[in-house]
Structure 1
Amino acid sequence: MLTRAQIDPVVTAALAEDAPWGDLTGEVFLPAGATATAQLTAREDGVLAGIDVVAAAFRLTDPATELTAHRADGDRFTTGEVLATVTGPARAVLQAERIALNLVQRMSGIATATRAMVDAVEGTGARITDTRKTTPGLRALERHAVRCGGGVNHRFSLSDAVMAKDNHLAVLAQQGVDLTEAIRRARARLGHTTRLEVEVDRLDQIEPVLAGGVDILMLDNFSLADLAAGVRQVAGRAIVEASGTVTLDTVGDIARTGVDVISSGALTHSARHLDLGLDMTVAAGADGAARADSAAGAAGTVEAAGA
């Protein structure tokens, strides 16, 4: 699960970008004593991800705000459900609402797209995983969203595992280096806990790669027939991962070839934001300024889903 150490720097940077010197509109329009209650409401069906991120957006804007979650990350929800309620100073709630919505809409969109793929491969044994095709600075949040949707995570960064892809193999070929021997040398330099994966794009590359001693073999942009043939050829000697232009329409057929893992960059780079809104009730505070300015401080309902 996400920790504050992962969430707070991202949210702090987003808040600073959105209100570097405060929220001018709130300061000139809203009484200082006004309070607000806002409901995070689903405008369409989906899977929730990022409720702690929403809480952080309000908490880091003003610690006096409080969020009550009615749904947890990973929960499915339907249109019209209230997912969380936030209360606190109206200025703070309105200042934080856009950052809170931007992040939870994106994360929930990723979780929802992931859940659709996971459901499409149910019963096959294949696992759905993400890639490093994430938004710079948001990787921890987006990968958490994948897990909320029932997927699993690939290596988090270049530092986590060895993964030799087509361009790595092209450099080896250019230098006249034998692929099997290169894999063996790489394996000899690694600790026993570090995995080694190699990507291939042809069936005739499989045996030289397996001979080097890989843990994972990625079959990239293979046809369905070649994926099935590759699985038979590997015969359990390595984990088989399928990748390349994976979509919701194709993922089920890919899974039925017998591969162990299906990786999809589209989970993070192409997921649309889910439609969630923040419905807000603003009430006048007890101080004199709030009472004097009845137009700004009178109780009313506003919809904070715009720009």
Structure 2
Amino acid sequence: MKPSYLTEEAISSFIATALAEDIGPGDYSSLSAIPKGKTGQAKLLIKDDGIIAGVELAEQIFKTFDADLQIDLLVKDGDKVAYGDVGLIVSGASASILSSERLVLNCMQRMSGIATVTHSLTEKILHTKARLMDTRKTTPNFRLMEKWAVHIGGGVNHRFALYDMIMLKDNHVDFAGGIRQAIESCKSYLKANNLNLKIEVETRSLDEVAEVIEVGGIDFVMLDNMDYNTMREAVKMIEGKFKTEASGGITEETLVDVAECGVDFISMGALTHSVKSLDISLKAI
């Protein structure tokens, strides 16, 4: 099932904007060099091992640019792929294939890199209850696709943006005058504006965890930059009253140790801001 943010309107809007950015008034290279009416085929060549993502998006990009293009999908989103595999074959007007090629590749390379890393890290913590989660540390105007890639790779999408969940981080708490003030003000605002949003509160110490427990009325507690012993103690204190999220500087090397502290979720900004794109190309047949 697709995440709720993946509406046809959102995807179509992204494609239209991205095509306009890349093509502008015209792809003059293709228009000038390719004879009018020339047709051909090209294959999507996988040149890395990993998890493929963006296949469905690629088909929609091709079809948006030229509805007469024919796409033969040979893999689906989430499939494991290896060097030498062919992801799809596109047939039709040669100029249309070339004009839409770069957007397809830019999206699929980055999405596949994200899905590959997400899948690999998720595999490492399957023996625990923890689920790997993304953050808002995404590329401006490409968040939709980056979070989609995390989902394809088996990760959990955290809030999509600032409007679909309340997260009271350290600066919110400090500016509000403390945890109690921040939570109570937040709940009053939600009630006054008839909003039904989940609330997460970031904590930096066991004292702050204790205060959140005392105030209550929230859904998630973030355990930020805590060492393993402190994190385990925090999970014990919370006793399942709220879901727990470990966050802050978590790496592939520390991921398993964090998961084994008993948290429900582990958020890693690196899933979307530090990945290497998968090597994929489009070659004429």
Scaled to the shorter chain, the TM-score interval is: over 0.9
2:197 to 194, 197, 200: 194
Give me the whole-angstrom Cα distance separating, in 1, the residues matched to 2:15 and 2:26. Answer: 15
TM-score normalized with structure 1 length? 0.86
Contact 1:47–1:111 (CA<8 Å) still a contact in 2?
A: yes
Unaligned 5+ segments in structure 1 are 282-307
Matched with 1:99 is 103
Matched with 1:224 is 228
Larger CA Rg, structure 1 vs 2: 1
Give me the whole-angstrom Cα distance separating, in 1, the residues matched to 2:181 and 2:17. Answer: 46
Equivalent positions of 1:51-70 (< 5 A) are 51-70=55-74
Q: CA deviation at 1:24?
A: 1.1
Matched with 1:184 is 184
Matched with 1:155 is 159
Equivalent positions of 1:34-113 (< 5 A) are 34-113=38-117
Aligned to 2:35, the other structure's residue is in SS state coil
Equivalent positions of 1:203-218 (< 5 A) are 203-213=206-216, 214-218=218-222
Equivalent positions of 1:102-181 (< 5 A) are 102-173=106-177, 178-181=178-181
Contact 1:109–1:273 (CA<8 Å) still a contact in 2?
A: yes
Give me the whole-angstrom Cα distance separating, in 2, the residues matched to 1:103 and 1:194. Answer: 31
Give me the whole-angstrom Cα distance separating, in 2, the residues matched to 1:248 and 1:11. Answer: 33
Give me the whole-angstrom Cα distance separating, in 1, the residues matched to 2:268 and 2:11. Answer: 24
User: How high is the sequence identity, in percent, across the aligned residues?
Assistant: 40
Contact 1:197–1:218 (CA<8 Å) still a contact in 2?
A: yes
Q: CA deviation at 1:154?
A: 0.6
The letter for the 2-side match of 1:8 is: S
The 1:4–1:182 alpha-carbon spacing in structure 2 relative to 1, beyond 3 Å, is closer
The letter for the 1-side match of 2:106 is: N
Residue deviations 1:15-35, cap 9 Å, x none?
A: 111111211111221111211
More displaced, 190-199 or 239-248? 190-199
TM-score normalized with structure 2 length? 0.92
Matched with 2:17 is 13
The letter for the 1-side match of 2:103 is: I
Give me the whole-angstrom Cα distance separating, in 1, the residues matched to 2:8 and 2:195. Answer: 31
Matched with 1:292 is none
Equivalent positions of 1:227-266 (< 5 A) are 227-266=231-270
Contact 2:137–2:269 (CA<8 Å) still a contact in 1?
A: yes
Q: CA deviation at 1:186?
A: 2.6
The 1:168–1:276 alpha-carbon spacing in structure 2 relative to 1, beyond 3 Å, is same
Q: CA deviation at 1:148?
A: 0.2
Q: CA deviation at 1:135?
A: 1.1
More displaced, 13-22 or 261-270? 13-22
The 1:170–1:185 alpha-carbon spacing in structure 2 relative to 1, beyond 3 Å, is closer
Contact 1:116–1:248 (CA<8 Å) still a contact in 2?
A: no
Q: CA deviation at 1:259?
A: 0.6
Aligned to 1:16, the other structure's residue is in SS state helix
Give me the whole-angstrom Cα distance separating, in 1, the residues matched to 2:253 and 2:281. Answer: 29
More displaced, 124-133 or 191-200? 191-200
The 1:192–1:92 alpha-carbon spacing in structure 2 relative to 1, beyond 3 Å, is closer
Kindly report the root-mean-square deviation, in angstroms, between the aligned alpha carbons of the 2 structures. 1.5
2:275 to 271, 279, 297: 271
Residue deviations 1:98-153, cap 9 Å, x none?
A: 11100111111111111111011111010111011111111111111100000011
Q: CA deviation at 1:225?
A: 1.8
The letter for the 2-side match of 1:179 is: I
Q: Structure 1: which 4+ aligned runs deviate by more than 3 Å?
A: 188-193
Q: CA deviation at 1:257?
A: 0.7
